Structure 1
Amino acid sequence: MRMYDIINKKKHGIVLTQEEMAFWVQGFAEGNISDYQAAALLMAIYFQGLSIDETSSLTSSMIDSGETIDLSRVPGIKGDKHSTGGVGDKTTLVLAPLLASMGITVAKMSGRGLGHTGGTLDKLESIPGFQVDLSPEEFMKQVENIGVAIVGQTRNLVPADKKIYALRDVTATVDSVPLIAASVMSKKLAAGADIIVLDVKFGSGAFMKTRPEAENLARMMVDIGKKKGKKMAAILTGMETPLGYAVGNALEVKEAIHVLQGEGPQDLRELSVYLTGITLWLAGKVSDAAKGRVQAEKHLDDGSALEKFRELIAAQHGNPQVIYDESLFPEGKFRYSLLADQDGYLGSMDTEGIGLAAMKLGAGRSKKEDLIDPAAGIIFYKKTGDRIRKGETIAMLHGNNEEQIDEGRDFLKKSLTLQQEAKAIPSLIDDLVII
């Protein structure tokens, strides 16, 4: 078998076999296939696409490049959730302890933020002392003891994905739906959950800008998971505004805690409850997702989900007192109020621009090597459709560097528009549930 022939087949739109997929994935991961040949195949895939069978074969080959997590020794049903990335998306911080408080084990591997979207690990590390790097044995023991753990991906889990993604990043092939689907699902399937629920976002702050693109990706990922024997579901959610009012690591954890306390912004609570309802339904714990949502509401309001989050923080060496005392979180030395210069309504929010503004403040990374300022970020007091009076505060910028505050302010100003007529508030959750 030759890489040249595989490239040539895909260049002409011919379906690749499982053996051909395995040949190039394994060969590239082991360094036996050059970057330029792998790049040529990625570009051929970008233009010719992959069938669902090809994408499933690619996913399997990527999983086979490394270790997998065996959760069979952990009793009960294991659930996992994946979001395709958004601005202010701290749903995992609510969903994981909420599910665990309801008897669904959550052994979750999460990622870091890059560009305009945040990362769950960065958010958790804003909790003093919290450790996201656990040994495999520590990880398993914690899952067995308290039913939930959130850690970073191990080095040997799907190593081919890391190498292929790095090449996609420099060859303009990141936005290929089958390559995205294989990348996401290889990691989810290798992590060993029984149930996987996907939150696929679309809009100005999402990777998929349109609803049809998001639906296409969602259906492909669900199909891949079902082929591997997993219980799957996906929902589509809008990202035309940030989720909640906080953007930035410590600020978002505080907001998630508010939701776990039975309060917090309605959109974050709604999405967390919706995803929980679907998971409980797939797990067979309720007869339909609506009943699952009712149960989820109770566990947010009675404090049991908050207590599970406290256990999670303590187990991973963080200071659990943060759920009672917000002053324990890092705070920025500087704050800047963005004021309305006229009466009107907040007409639109360029959510990607807002994410970039937070990044400029130090809340995100433009390169993987960049350091995060856990205190940096933005709190919004107004969102799309809200009435605004001249001089009112639209948002508050937090940071530790005055130059970064200035940069972030300029990005934020360009990302918001005021208009004289009220605009309809965009819906958060699409009606479609893909199973």
Structure 2
Amino acid sequence: MPALCYAKTAVPVVSAPSRCWGRRSWWAGGLSAVLLLSACGKTDAPGAGSPAARAMPQPEVGVVTVALRDVGLVTELPGRLEASRVAQVRARAAGILQKRLFREGSDVKAGQALFTIDAAPYAAALQSAQAQLARAQANLAQASALAERYQPLVAANAVSQQEYANAVAAQKQAAADVAAGKAAVQTASINLNYASVTSPISGRIGRALVTEGALVGQGEATQLAVVQQINPVYVNFTQSAAEVMKLRRALEAGQFKKASGGDAASVRVVLDDGSEYALPGKLLFSDLTVDATTGQVTLRAEVPNPKGELLPGLYVRVRLEQAQVSDAFTLPQQAVTRTQQGDKVTVVAADGTLSPRMVKVGAARNNQWVVLDGLKAGEQVMVDGFQKLQMLPPGTPVKAVPWQAPGSAAPVPQTAPAPAAAPASGPAPAASSPAATASAAQQ
């Protein structure tokens, strides 16, 4: 009976497995399949030490190809605009201001009438002076006639010498009165002309400082307006004495040649908004003395201003093209590394190898360094990609690509995602989800 019970118990275990045993069998089968697929994948993939794994693409670095050219040395300095000529319009005749004859802020010509002062008193003074002159001229005529009449009589002893001398003296006194009368007439005429206030120079006039009806010129020459000549306009700026002396020594030694081919250096004006004024100017002079407090030398440039765009008092920056260097290179500033030994660049050879190079750097121009020595024409200098090399072993060759400044480089096209790989052969393996397998086992 026990044996029969054992057989009955053993038969169901073999022929009809329980639900729990079926799940354990599924987990064991699934794990075996995963291990088998993993083993197949490792067998098909190339090893880490295979040549395919070692053939990695060369990192790309941005380079510029240097070429010899004449480079102008440019220094940018702060400056302030100033009118080339400034004249204060003042009343030289006393009286009531009757009329303003100009539009404020307009351009005026030299001699143009600007104000009118009451001229009646000056016209009367002129008439009085003219009358005094007429009286003096009449007295002169009478005295001259008397002297001429006495001249033959004194020879005949008809009149005394004293009477003749008195007649001649009266003639000279009358002539002097005529001269004084003429001067008085001229003075009265000038004062009458002062009643019409004119512009002393050609330029742009500002606002009127007085209004009609005001009493001007009483005790002092009242200022009425200001005229400024702004074509051309001056730019006053300063430069350190050390830089000026360095430039002069270089010019005397023949290391540089003058920028514009003449005695005057070229000057460009940069406005407050960063834009460059269209017309170039020229350097007029440099001060012969150095400011003891600042160590600066005052410079002045003349800039044409036909449209009146540059206004006196405006703050600007001056780009002074002082001289130019022959047979020099220019490099972006990020390509040059400053060390304790000097300035260094990285040269990229044709085979992609990198080599550091010490160079001699001069002045800066438009965010670029002027390289005077240390490079040869046609060499490629690394500008971008330094961070990539920090993660690679030394001596790793690179691929040189032309470098473009930010903002001018063409946009890099986006790479499309790679399509999913198709199965090598046969149907795709069934889903190995435990829930799906368990559901199938239950069915």
Shorter-chain TM-score category?
under 0.3
Question: Larger C-alpha radius of gyration, 1 or 2?
Answer: 2
Greater per-residue strand proportion: 2
**Using CA pairs below 8 Å that are at least 6 residues apart, which structure has the higher relative contact order?**
2
Greater per-residue helix proportion: 1
